[in-house]
Each structure stands twice: as C-alpha cells, then as structure tokens.
Amino acid sequence: DAKTTQPTSMDCAEGRAANLPCNHSTISGNEYVYWYRQIHSQGPQYIIHGLKNNETNEMASLIITEDRKSSTLILPHATLRDTAVYYCIVSYGRGGSTLGRLYFGRGTQLTVWP
C-alpha cells in the first residue's frame, strides 16, 4: 500500500519552478524517498531519490525535511514537456524484504501552461 499523500493536481507556468509536495509521515529509517513521473500512456520515468540529505541531479532537486516526514520535488524551470503525473514513493530500494518493490499512490497531475 502507498505510504505517501500528495495533492491531486497542481499547475505551473512555463519557465517557473514547480514545487511538488509529498507527505510520508510513517517512513521508516531505512526507506528512501523516490520520485517518478509518468507522461500519458508511457512507462514511468525515474527522476530522483534520497534518504536523508537533499539531492540534486540534472532533472530536479529533492528537499527532505529533517524529520523525514515530508519532501518536496523541485523542477527549477518547468517546461510543457514536464506535464505528467508525479509519484512520490517510499521504498527500501534494493535492500530489505521488499527488494525494491514500488507501491504507487495516486500521484500529482502537474500541468505546465504556456
């Protein structure tokens, strides 16, 4: 079962930063926070993941609160191609009994408008 809550939908103007929140108040100490996105009728795409520290890659930044009960995915300069459903998932990754299984919640539909 999904252990995260996200807003159902969000809008963002093209070129502006998109900040997508996620609550995961029951996260365990060894669970990672993963973000994936799914563009309509395609397979999900990995964006970023983190454990405790903030992370940044070429796609996005991930800010995790100190108590790890929530996080924010930041797309610094959103484009029309960033319109997608964004999923925040907590998982043990490769380790643990769940061996990398991902349980998707409803996600956030991000719409970037011109």
Partner 1 sequence: GAVVSQHPSRVICKSGTSVKIECRSLDFQATTMFWYRQFPKKSLMLMATSNEGSKATYEQGVEKDKFLINHASLTLSTLTVTSAHPEDSSFYICSALSLAASTYEQYFGPGTRLTVT
Considering only 44, 55, 72, 111, the residue that binds partner 1 (CB under 8 A) is 44
The amino acid occupying position 108 is T
Residue given tokens 């996200």 in the structure block: 6
# residues contacting partner 1 (CB under 8 A): 24
| Residue 6 contacts residue 89 (beta carbons within 8 Å) | no
39 interacts with partner 1 by CB under 8 A: no
Shortest distance in whole angstroms from residue 13 CB to partner 1: 25
Using CA atoms, how far apart are residues 23 and 106, in angstroms rounded to an integer? 13
Considering only 8, 41, 66, 114, the residue that binds partner 1 (CB under 8 A) is 41
| Beta-strand pair 108-113/84-91 | antiparallel
Q: Which residues bind partner 1 (CB under 8 A)?
A: 2, 32, 34, 36, 38, 41-46, 49, 87, 93-94, 99-107
